[in-house]
């Protein structure tokens, strides 16, 4: 196989397995997974608890390493990169939204959003601040700029997380149960926001969810059962 | 749940926690607290016992009765009845003659055939002497000597080396004492119970008591001093007290029960000070450990709110949940106490080793109570510092299972601090037996800490306002933001470390500067010999002789020996609060002078002016005045050779005893003493290369007593150095305790740091960026701590030097750069080590756990 991948595939998994040591035995979480996701596609990964959904998301995003197989993201072989190289790749074109928001508690809403913009190296401090402010306005939080995460509601925190994820204009956005910690009304609002921004920016969206409504909104669905695609 | 089940569960839980490393800080802190407590408790107990031993050694007995006439037989009978050992010494001055006085049985090689005479301080000792302490003798003038616990045999005498020079004799020669001739069999190098009056020393000649009568030395009316020496077999029984109680009513006016002399008191004073320093260091170590325990306990409780809520949901009562956690604490206390006691015992042995030489015998073992106090440290610190946090575990609502944000109520902040202070105060009072010092350390320390905490927070807030964050590189900005975000936690960390640095620096400064000052205050030509008993007709020839020999001489002082008998017409012997003071039990050296002598400084009043010449004034040394309660304008009555006279106090003086010049407690205006018969004393410096000129000087002026001061100098310097190194050993414990506090503060923020690290890495930060940010944060913390420490050190030293040591303090500028840099590096390395997990764990694992 060549060391680059054709550009019409954003993410490709080739026979990916993941095993972890559990005491003296080894436990297989994912087994021989292969798949392709095209740019701008929206994909939902669904399955029962403990089937390996989140592990798969972690491997796709380069947050975790696979035990065997190949993972190509934006033409880069993740399986051959070390942690820092994967981090550099994430900084350039990958966004994240987590179930428990994962905001930095010591930073204000504005700082939480401007930090990755500045880290991408494309903008200076002032530009980052302006961009972040703009994004927080888009998610309806212009009145909460200087608030700390603990001063915000769950829905507001997730909005900050979404603003943070889109602010770097990533090619691909990974979301792990983005509505899992929210009530259904707020959950729906967050989903609408996510898809609206996704359409607007033509971002590839890959999300792990239990929420049927959310899964139905996606163009394709990957069902995982016992570490395999069913 | 049954109690046995609780015990089992608590053991299982504790073992898991210990294995996972969750309990490391509590264990370390407890261990340090118990170790420090053991060291100080056991060591102090041994030191106290040793000091008692030392003083008995200096007396030659546990108790000594001095009398101008033979001791009544009833004194011996009563002692025997109580099971005490006794012996007798007899001291008197006498002229001894060397030479060919006997029947031709002169020592081999003696080329001297004439008569050579000298005044000797004769000490006749009985069988059993010395009951405590020892005599060091030698067979040659230059060798090291052997320690013996007996006096000369009948027919033999031992001489001090000065007497050999005066008599121009050597070992094996004969000397006539009274009507009898004796063989010289040894040189006396040291006599542990020599003591006595510093100003009336003549060279020693020691003989057997049985020879006194045959020599016809003691007649009715002779100036002799009899001493009864008594000692008990077992240090812990009370027979000595019983004997003393029996003796007191029997004592006549010409008899007294003797206590230690001034010189010996100075030695025990220095040791007491050393003990205080050591206690202070130990309390500091325990206090710091306590702080670390409190932080770790708060952390521990917070991590266990969920467990507690779960147990409550499953039906456990509050009491059961609480018991479960408290049982774990009890196990910890028991195990760490045992380990700490062992470790502490080892370290105090090391301290004893450092102070070896101050005590001729091994230090006696500590009392049992010392071990009990040490063993009580762990429970006390746990109750004082950990309990308030752990009790919250009993208050967790089972509803927390559903609503994680529900936290149990905290204790009232006053109660938390109050309990901690009470615990540390109780421990400190136990160790030091000193209420005032404990109060100052604990409550004063608390107030200072609060003020400092406030100041550091203020400093950080000002920093937040003035630092242009947007101009700083992203990595460093993140570090800076972390520091100023939670100013309370940051200032605690900064303060913990700056206090440790400060303590180390202050002690180091004091040690080096005091030693340096002591050496500086003794220039190369400082007097190293005292000459006493100079008669007025000898002044001129003696001074001439000193000048000819090239010995640099200091001023000459007249001296009259006299006793202080009344203060404001009140007999001092009737005043129970002062009548045991050594200065009242012996003749004081009284002098007069028109100018304030070198090394003296007026604290109150005026020096005698020429127009106040006949006003009967006296200037008193300030510390003696405070000891005896003498104030300005008091009237003092003195007795010199049964003549009594009065003088009023017109000034108080500070005397620098370290100058090695002749120093006096009492200096009079000339009119008071001038008409009394006085002898003179002076001091002078003999350069090393001119030591051989000393013998002709001694021979030309045989009645003048010479005292070698370089020995005294060496002894004091040795003492200072030993005490300083003992303090340094304990400082290591303080430093370790400080590091545990630092570890506890870092550990309490570790969860947040790990989460932050994972989020930042998810957002694309590299490991190097994360490290740079964290390390620069620690480096900055260390730098600020170093700055505060150096400023604090200068402030404390300035105060100490000016108020206590009367020295000039010079700000040490290089430290203003060196210390912040050193502390910055140290904290950075330590912080990097503690938070290494932040970059080691995969971000996804971390994010999943939260």
Report the C-alpha gap between B318 and B737 in whole angstroms.
34
pLDDT at residue B535 in the model: 84
How far apart are the CA of B753 and the nearest CA of chain A, in angstroms? 10
CATH 3.40.50.300 fits A39-67+78-229, yes or no: yes
**Where exactly are the structural domains of chain A?**
39-67+78-229
Question: Which chain B residues are within 8 Å of A111, Cβ to Cβ?
Answer: 481
Report the C-alpha gap between B692 and A5 in whole angstroms.
101
Question: Which chain A residues are within 8 Å of B773, Cβ to Cβ?
Answer: none
What is chain B's length? 850
DSSP character for B261? -
> Mind listing the pLDDT tens digit for each residue in B432-441?
777 777 787 7
Residues 6+ apart with CB under 8 A from B142: none
Q: Answer whether residue B445 shows pLDDT above 70.
A: yes
Question: Which chain A residues are within 8 Å of B768, Cβ to Cβ?
Answer: 84
ipTM surpasses cut 0.85: no
> Mind listing the pLDDT tens digit for each residue in A87-111?
888 888 888 888 888 888 878 899 8
Question: Which chain B residues are within 8 Å of A63, Cβ to Cβ?
Answer: 762, 842-844, 847
Average of per-residue pLDDT values in chain B: 80
How far apart are the CA of B306 and the nearest CA of chain A, in angstroms? 18
Q: Answer whether residue B111 shows pLDDT above 50.
A: no
pTM of the model: 0.67
- What are B765's two structure tokens? 């930060």
CB contact under 8 A, A116 and B763: yes
Closest by CA to A173, choosing from A154, A140, A155, A195, is A195
Contact assessment for residue B290 and residue B420, using Cβ atoms and an 8 Å cutoff? yes
DSSP character for B645? E
Alpha-carbon distances of B291 from B330, B445, B646, rounded to whole Å: 19, 13, 59
CB contact under 8 A, A115 and B763: yes
Report the C-alpha gap between A218 and B5 in whole angstroms.
53
Torsion of CA B527, B533, B534, B535, to 10 degrees: 160
Q: Answer whether residue B190 shows pLDDT above 50.
A: yes
Q: Regarding predicted confidence, which is higher, B662 or B86?
A: B86
Alpha-carbon distances of B383 from A35, B29, B37, B65, B389, rounded to whole Å: 61, 14, 16, 51, 10
Strand boundaries in B111-216, DSSP class E: 116-125, 135-138, 146-148, 156-160, 174-177, 180-191, 204-208
CB contact under 8 A, B470 and A100: no
pLDDT at residue B817 in the model: 92
Residues of chain A in Cβ contact (below 8 Å) with chain B:
54-55, 58, 63-65, 83-84, 87-92, 94, 96, 98, 100, 102-107, 111, 115-116, 118-120, 125-126, 129, 164
Q: Facing residues of B532 across strands?
A: B705
> Mind listing the pLDDT tens digit for each residue in B42-79?
887 887 777 666 667 767 788 888 887 889 999 999 99
CB contact under 8 A, A91 and B470: no
CB contact under 8 A, B481 and A111: yes
Q: What are phi and psi of A34, to 5 degrees?
A: -135, 135
pLDDT at residue B523 in the model: 62
Task: Give the pLDDT of chain A (230 residues) as one tens digit per residue.
Answer: 444 445 688 999 999 999 988 777 888 889 999 999 999 899 999 988 888 888 898 899 888 889 999 999 998 999 999 888 888 888 888 888 888 888 888 788 998 999 888 888 788 888 999 999 999 998 888 899 999 888 898 889 988 999 998 888 888 999 988 888 778 888 888 888 888 888 888 899 999 988 888 888 899 999 998 888 88
Q: Facing residues of B655 across strands?
A: B600
- pLDDT bin (cut points 50, 70, 90) of residue B786 is very high
Contact assessment for residue B247 and residue B75, using Cβ atoms and an 8 Å cutoff? yes
How far apart are the CA of B759 and the nearest CA of chain A, in angstroms? 7
> Mind listing the pLDDT tens digit for each residue in B469-479?
778 888 888 88
A:B CB pairs within 8 Å = 76
Contact assessment for residue B649 and residue B497, using Cβ atoms and an 8 Å cutoff? no
pLDDT at residue B196 in the model: 44
């Amino acid at each position: 196989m060549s060391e680059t991948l054709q550009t019409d595939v954003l993410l490709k998994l080739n026979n990916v397995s993941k095993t972890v040591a559990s005491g003296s035995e080894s436990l297989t979480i994912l087994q021989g997974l292969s798949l392709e996701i095209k740019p701008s596609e929206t994909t939902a990964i669904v399955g029962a608890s403990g089937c390996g959904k989140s592990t798969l998301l972690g491997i796709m995003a380069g947050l975790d390493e696979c035990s065997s197989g190949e993972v190509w993201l934006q033409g880069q072989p993740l399986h051959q990169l070390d942690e820092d190289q994967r981090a550099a790749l994430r900084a350039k074109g990958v966004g994240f939204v987590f179930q428990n928001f994962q905001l930095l508690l010591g930073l204000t809403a504005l700082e939480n959003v401007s930090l990755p913009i500045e880290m991408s190296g494309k903008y200076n401090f002032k530009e980052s601040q302006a961009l972040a402010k703009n994004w927080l306005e888009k998610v309806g939080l212009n009145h909460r700029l200087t608030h700390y995460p603990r001063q915000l509601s769950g829905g507001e925190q997730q909005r900050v997380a979404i603003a943070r994820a889109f602010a770097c204009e990533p090619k691909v956005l990974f979301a792990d149960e983005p509505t899992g910690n929210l009530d259904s009304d707020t959950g729906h609002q967050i989903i609408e926001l996510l898809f609206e921004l996704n359409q607007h920016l033509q971002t590839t969206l890959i999300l792990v969810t239990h929420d049927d409504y959310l899964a139905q909104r996606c163009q394709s669905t990957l069902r995982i059962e016992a570490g395999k695609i069913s | 749940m049954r109690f046995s089940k609780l015990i089992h569960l608590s053991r299982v839980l504790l073992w898991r926690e210990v294995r996972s490393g969750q309990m490391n800080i509590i264990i370390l802190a407890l261990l340090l607290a118990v170790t420090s407590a053991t060291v100080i408790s056991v060591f102090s107990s041994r030191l106290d016992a040793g000091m008692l031993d030392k003083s008995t050694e200096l007396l030659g007995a546990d108790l000594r009765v001095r009398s101008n006439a033979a001791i009544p037989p009833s004194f011996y009978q009563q002692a025997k009845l109580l099971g005490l050992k006794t012996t007798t010494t007899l001291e008197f001055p006498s002229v001894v003659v060397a030479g060919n006085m006997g029947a031709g049985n002169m020592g081999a090689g003696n080329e001297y055939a004439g008569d050579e005479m000298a005044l000797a301080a004769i000490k006749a000792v009985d069988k059993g002497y010395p009951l405590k302490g020892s005599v060091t003798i030698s067979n040659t003038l230059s060798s090291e000597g052997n320690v013996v616990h007996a006096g000369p045999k009948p027919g033999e005498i031992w001489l001090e080396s000065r007497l050999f020079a005066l008599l121009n004799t050597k070992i094996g020669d004969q000397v006539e004492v009274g009507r009898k001739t004796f063989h010289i069999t040894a040189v006396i190098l040291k006599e542990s119970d020599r003591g006595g009056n510093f100003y009336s020393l003549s060279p020693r000649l020691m003989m057997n008591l049985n020879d006194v009568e045959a020599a016809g030395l003691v007649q009715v009316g002779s100036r002799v001093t009899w001493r009864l020496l008594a000692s008990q077999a077992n240090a812990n029984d009370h027979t000595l007290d019983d004997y003393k109680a029996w003796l007191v009513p029997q004592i006549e006016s010409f008899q007294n029960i003797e206590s230690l002399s001034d010189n010996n008191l100075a030695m025990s004073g220095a040791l007491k000070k050393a003990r205080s320093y050591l206690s202070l260091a130990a309390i500091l170590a325990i206090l710091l450990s306590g702080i670390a325990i409190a932080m770790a306990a708060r952390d521990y409780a917070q991590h266990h709110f969920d467990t507690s809520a779960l147990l409550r949901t499953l039906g456990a009562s509050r009491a059961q949940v609480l018991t479960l956690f408290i049982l774990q604490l009890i196990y910890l206390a028991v195990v760490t106490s045992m380990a700490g006691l062992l470790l502490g015992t080892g370290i105090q042995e090391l301290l004893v080793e450092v102070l070896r030489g101050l005590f001729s015998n091994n230090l006696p073992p500590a009392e049992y109570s010392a071990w009990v106090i040490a063993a009580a440290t762990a429970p006390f610190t746990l109750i004082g510092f950990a309990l308030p946090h752990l009790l919250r575990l009993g208050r967790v609502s089972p509803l927390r299972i559903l609503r994680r944000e529900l936290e149990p109520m905290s204790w009232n902040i006053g109660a938390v601090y109050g309990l901690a202070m009470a615990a540390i105060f109780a421990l400190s009072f136990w160790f030091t037996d000193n209420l005032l010092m404990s109060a100052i350390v604990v409550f004063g320390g608390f107030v200072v800490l609060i003020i400092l905490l406030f100041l550091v927070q203020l400093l950080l807030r000002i920093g937040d306002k003035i630092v242009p964050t947007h101009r700083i590189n992203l990595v460093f900005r993140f570090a800076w933001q972390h520091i100023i975000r939670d100013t309370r936690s940051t200032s605690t960390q900064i303060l913990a470390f700056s206090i440790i640095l400060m303590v180390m620096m202050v002690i180091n400064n004091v040690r080096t500067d005091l030693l340096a000052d002591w050496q500086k205050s003794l220039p190369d030509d400082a007097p190293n010999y005292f000459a006493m008993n100079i008669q007025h007709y000898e002044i001129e020839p003696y001074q001439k002789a000193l000048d000819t020999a090239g010995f640099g001489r200091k001023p000459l002082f007249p001296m009259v020996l006299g006793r202080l008998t009344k203060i404001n017409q009140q007999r001092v012997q009737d005043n129970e609060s002062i009548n045991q003071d050594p200065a009242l039990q012996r003749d004081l050296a009284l002098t007069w002078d028109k100018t304030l002598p070198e090394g003296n400084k007026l604290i109150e009043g005026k020096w005698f002016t020429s127009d106040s010449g006949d006003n009967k004034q006296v200037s008193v040394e300030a510390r003696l005045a405070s000891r005896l309660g003498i104030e300005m304008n008091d009237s003092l009555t003195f007795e010199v050779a049964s003549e009594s006279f009065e003088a009023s106090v017109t000034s108080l003086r500070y005397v620098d005893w370290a100058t090695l010049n002749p120093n006096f407690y009492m200096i009079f205006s000339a009119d008071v003493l001038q008409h009394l018969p006085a002898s003179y004393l002076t001091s002078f410096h003999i350069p090393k290369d001119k030591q051989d000129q000393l013998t002709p000087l001694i021979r030309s002026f045989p009645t003048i007593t010479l005292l070698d001061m370089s020995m005294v100098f060496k002894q004091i310097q040795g003492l200072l150095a030993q005490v300083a190194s003992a303090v340094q050993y304990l400082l290591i414990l303080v430093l370790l305790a400080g590091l545990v506090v630092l570890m506890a503060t870092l550990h309490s923020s570790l969860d947040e740091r790990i989460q932050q690290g994972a989020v930042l890495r998810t957002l694309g930060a590299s490991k190097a960026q994360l490290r740079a940010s964290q390390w620069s944060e620690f480096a900055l913390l260390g730098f600020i701590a170093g700055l505060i420490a150096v400023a604090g050190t200068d402030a404390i030293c300035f105060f100490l030097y000016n108020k206590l040591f009367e020295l000039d303090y010079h700000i040490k500028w290089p430290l203003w750069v060196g210390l912040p840099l050193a502390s910055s590096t140290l904290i950075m390395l330590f912080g990097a080590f503690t938070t290494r997990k932040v970059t080691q764990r995969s971000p996804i694992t971390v994010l999943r756990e939260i």
